[in-house]
Amino acid sequence: MRRVRLDKLEPGMKLAQKILRDDGMLLVGAGTELTEPIISMIQRRIELEAIMVEGSAFATPEEAEAWKKDELDKLDLRFSKVAGDPFMERLKELEAQSITDTD
């Protein structure tokens, strides 16, 4: 899943999440393939900056792996001052898992 600004939407993209109007009524369902008319309607009717569409946030698998490595390095640095604390080690482990599970 990736976040796409409304002005960057393209026909053929598929919505990863439903879009609701301000009153809670369904505007466009999850899984809907975007067309020019649907994109235009979304841009006119919702006050969001971006929406979630299906697909990877990365252009290539190498780009995804580089991002994961960078994020794991940052995580190591953030938790370096609390190394040895079992609670913080578990928290770091969970955060690392959320990074490696990202596509």
Domains of the chain by residue range: 2-53, 61-100
For 32-91, the pLDDT digits (tens) are 999 999 999 999 988 888 999 998 766 678 887 888 899 899 999 999 999 999 999 999
Provide long-range contacts, Cβ within 8 A and 24+ apart, for 36-43: 36/11, 39/9, 39/10, 39/11, 42/6, 42/9, 43/6, 43/7, 43/9
CATH of 2-53, one of 3.90.105, 3.40.50, 2.60.120, 1.10.3300: 3.90.105
Question: pLDDT at position 101, please?
Answer: 80
pTM for this model (two decimals): 0.56
Is the predicted pLDDT of residue 103 greater than 80, yes or no? no
